[in-house]
Structure 1
Amino acid sequence: MIIRLFIFLLVVLGLGWGFSWIADRPGLISITWQDHLIETSIMVAATMVVALIAAVMIVWWVIGVIWTSPLSVRRYFRTRKRDRGYQALSTGLIAAGAGNAVLARKMSIRTRGLLSADQEPLIHLLEAQAALIEGRHADARAKFEQMAEDPETRELGLRGLYMEARRLGANEAARQYAEKAVEHAPYLPWAAQATLESRSQSGRWDEAIQLLDQQRAASVLERGEAERLKAILLTAKAGERLEGDPNGAREDAKAALKLAKGLVPAAIIAAKAYLREDNIRKAASILESAWKIEPHPDLGRTYVRARSGDSTLDRLKRAEKLEALRPNNIESLLVVAQAALDAQQFPKARAKAEAAARMQSREAAYLLLADIEEAETGDQGRVRHWMAQALRAGRDPAWVADGIVSDKWLPLSPVTGRLDAFEWKVPFGQIEGPVEDGTLAADEAIATLPAITIREDVTPAVETPENESINQVVADMQPVVVPQEDLAVAAKTPTATNVTAEQPPEAEKQDEPVPFFGRPPDDPGVKDASAEKSPTRLRLY
Structure 2
Amino acid sequence: MLWSLFKILLFVALIVALAFGVQWLLSVSGEVLVTFNGQEYVLPPLMVVICALALMLALWVLFKLAGLLIAALRFINGDDTALGAYFDRNRERKGYDALSDSLIALASGEAREAAAKAQKAERYLQRPEVTTLLVAQASEAAGETARARDAWKELLAHDRTRFVGVRGLMRQKLEEGDTETAMKLAEKAFALKPRHVETQDTLLRLQARDENWDGARRVLTAKLKAGTLPKDVYKRREAVLSLADARDQLARGDTGKAHAEILEANRLSPELVPAAVLAARAHIEAGELRRASKVLRVARARTPHPDLAAAFADIDPAETPAARIKRFQPFLKVAPDAPETRMLDAELHLAAEDFPGARRALGKTWETHPTTRSLSLMAAIERGEGASEAVVRGWLAKALTASRGPQWVCDNCGTVHADWLPVCTHCEAFDSLEWREVESGGSGTATLSSEMLPLLIGPSTAGISDAETAAPAPEPQKQNDEHPADTDATRREADPIETLPAGSSPPAPQDEAPTTAGTSRM
TM-score (norm 1): 0.65
Q: Aligned to 2:473, which of 433, 455, 458?
A: 458
Counterpart position of 2:93: 83
Alpha-carbon separation, structure 2, partners of 1:341 and 1:144: 67
Cα shift at 1:316? 2.0
Task: Please name the residue that 2:297 is paired with.
Answer: 288
Assess if the C-alpha contact under 8 Å between 1:271 and 1:282 holds in 2.
Answer: yes
SS in 1 for 2:328: helix
Pair 257,92 (structure 1): closer, same or farther in 2 beyond 3 Å:
same
> What is the match of residue 165 of structure 1?
173
Per-residue Cα deviation, 1:477-519 (whole angstroms, up to 9, x for no partner) = xxxxxxxxxxxxxxxxx99799xxxxxxxxxxxxxxxxxxxxx
Contact 1:333 1:355 (8 Å CA) reproduced = no
Structure 1 residue 207: Cα displacement: 2.2
Flag the 1:236–1:98 CA change in 2: closer, same or farther, 3 A.
farther
Query: Where does residue 268 of structure 1 map in the other structure?
Result: 277
Tell me the distance in 1 between the aligned counterparts of 2:202 and 2:428. Answer: 9
How many angstroms does 1:335 deviate by?
Answer: 0.7
Equivalent residue for 2:185? 177
Change (3 A) 1:284 1:306: same
Matches within 5 A, 1:410-425: 410-425=421-436
Deviation at 1:268, TM superposition (A): 1.0
Map 1:228-247; keep pairs closer than 5 Å: 228-242=236-250, 244-247=253-256
Q: Residue in 2 aligned with 1:377?
A: 386
Pick the aligned partner of 1:121 from 111, 119, 129: 129
Q: Answer whether contact 2:324 2:348 (CA < 8 A) is retained.
A: yes
Q: Distance in 2 between matches of 1:378 and 1:456?
A: 16
Contact preservation (8 Å) 2:111, 2:142: yes
SS in structure 2 at match of 1:398: strand
In 1: Cα distance, 2:157 partner to 2:389 partner:
75
The 2-side partners of 1:198 and 1:392 are apart by: 38
Q: How does 1:346-495 map to 2 (within 5 A)?
A: 346-377=355-386, 379-391=388-400, 393-401=402-410, 402-430=413-441, 457-463=472-478
Is 2:224 aligned against 1:203?
no
Displacement after TM superposition at 1:460 (Å):
1.5
Note if 1:328 corresponds to 2:343.
no
Amino acid at match of 2:326: K
Pick aligned residue for 1:345 from 342, 347, 354: 354
Distance 1:93 1:285, change over 3 A: same
| Aligned position for 2:198 | 190
Q: Which amino acid aligns with 2:123?
A: G
Gaps of 5+ in 2: 1-69, 443-469, 481-486, 492-522
Q: Is the 8 A contact 1:304 1:316 kept in 2?
A: no
Matched-pair identity in %: 29
Map 1:84-103 onto structure 2 (within 5 A).
84-103=94-113
Q: CA separation in 2, counterparts of 1:349 and 1:62?
A: 100
Instruction: Spell out, residue by residue over 1:356-399, the C-alpha distance to the aligned partner (whole angstroms, 9 max, x if none).
Output: 33543333211111122234426311112222443565440100
On the 8 A contact 1:400/1:427 being kept in 2, the answer is: yes
Query: In the alignment, residue 416 of structure 1 is paired with which amino acid?
Result: C
- Counterparts in 2 of 1:309 and 1:456: CA distance versus 1, 3 Å: closer
What CA distance in whole angstroms lies between the structure 1 residues aligned with 2:425 and 2:300?
28
Select which of 263, 266, 269 maps to 1:257: 266
Deviations 1:283-314 (Å, cap 9, x if unpaired)? 11100111123322221222123333222223
SS at match of 1:167: helix
Structure 2 residue identity aligned to 1:167: E
Q: 1:410: Cα distance to partner?
A: 0.6
Residue 463 of structure 1 and its aligned partner are, at CA, apart by 4.7
Contact kept in structure 2, 1:96 and 1:130, CA below 8 Å: yes
Task: Between the two structures, name the one with larger relative contact order (CA 8 Å, sep ≥ 6).
Answer: 2
Query: Which secondary structure does the structure 1 equivalent of 2:267 belong to?
Result: helix
The verdict on how the C-alpha distance between 1:356 and 1:65 changes in structure 2, with shifts beyond 3 A counting, is closer
Distance 1:211 1:497, change over 3 A: closer
Cα distance in 1 between the residues matched to 2:188 and 2:244 = 25
CA distance in 2, matches of 1:290, 1:123: 56
Q: Determine the C-alpha separation between the residues in 2 that align with 1:241 and 1:73.
A: 71
Task: Give the length in aligned residue pairs.
Answer: 385
Pick aligned residue for 1:105 from 100, 111, 115: 115
Q: Given the superposition, is the C-alpha separation of residues 67 and 379 from structure 1 closer, same or farther in structure 2, using an over 3 Å criterion? A: same
- Do the aligned residues in 1 keep the contact of 2:376 with 2:399 (CA within 8 Å)? yes
Task: Specify the alignment match of 2:55 in structure 1.
Answer: none
Structure 2 CA distance for partners of 1:64 and 1:82, relative to 1, 3 Å = closer
Query: Residues 71 and 172 of structure 1: is their aligned pair in 2 closer, same or farther, counting only changes over 3 Å?
Result: closer
Deviations 1:233-292 (A, max 9, x none): 122222333463444333323333333332112111111211222322211110011112
CA deviation after TM superposition for structure 1 residue 62, in Å: 12
- Distance in 2 separating the partners of 1:495 and 1:350: 17
Q: Secondary structure of 1:430's match?
A: coil
The structure-2 alpha-carbon separation of the partners of 1:67 and 1:266, relative to structure 1 and needing over 3 Å to count, comes to same
Match of 1:304 among 313, 320, 333: 313
The answer (yes or no) to whether the contact 2:270–2:299 under 8 Å persists in 1 is yes
* Secondary structure of residue in 2 paired with 1:335: helix
Distance change (3 Å), C-alpha of 1:176 and 1:234: same
Query: Distance in 2 between the 1:385 and 1:497 partners?
Result: 16
Alignment of 1:487-526 (within 5 A): none
| Distance in 1 (alpha carbons) for counterparts of 2:489 and 2:142 | 83
- Unmatched 5+ stretches in structure 1: 1-60, 432-454, 466-493, 499-541
Aligned counterpart, 1:474: none
Return the TM-score normalized by structure 2. Answer: 0.67
* Structure 1 residue 461 displacement after superposition: 4.2
Checking the alignment, whether the CA contact within 8 Å between 1:305 and 1:315 is kept in structure 2 is no
CA contact (8 A) 1:412 1:421 kept: yes
Q: 1:209 to 1:74 in 2, by over 3 A?
A: closer
Secondary structure in 2 matching 1:229: helix
**Aligned in 2, Cα 1:314/1:496: closer, same or farther, shift over 3 Å?**
same
Report deviation, 1:352. Answer: 1.5
Structure 2 residue matching 1:423: 3-state secondary structure:
strand
Aligned position for 1:513: none
User: For residues 495 and 291 of structure 1, do their structure 2 counterparts lie closer, same or farther at Cα, with a shift above 3 Å needed?
Assistant: closer
Identify if the C-alpha distance between structure 1 residues 66 and 364 changes in structure 2 by more than 3 Å, giving closer, same or farther: closer
Distance 1:64 1:306, change over 3 A: same
2:95, 2:125 within 8 Å by CA — same for their partners in 1? yes
> 1:20-59 alignment to 2 at 5 Å?
none
> Residues 26-80 of structure 1, C-alpha deviation per residue, up to 9 Å, x if partnerless?
xxxxxxxxxxxxxxxxxxxxxxxxxxxxxxxxxxx99945846996454234134
CA contact 1:242–1:273 (8 Å) conserved in 2: no
Q: 1:339: Cα distance to partner?
A: 1.2
1:132 maps to what in 2? 140
Where 1:325 maps in the other structure, the secondary structure is coil
More deviation in 187-196 or 354-363? Answer: 354-363
Aligned-partner residue type, residue 272 of structure 2: L
Instruction: Please state whether the residue corresponding to 1:309 is helix, strand or coil.
Output: coil
Distance of aligned partners of 1:273 and 1:114 in 2 relative to their CA distance in 1, 3 Å threshold: same
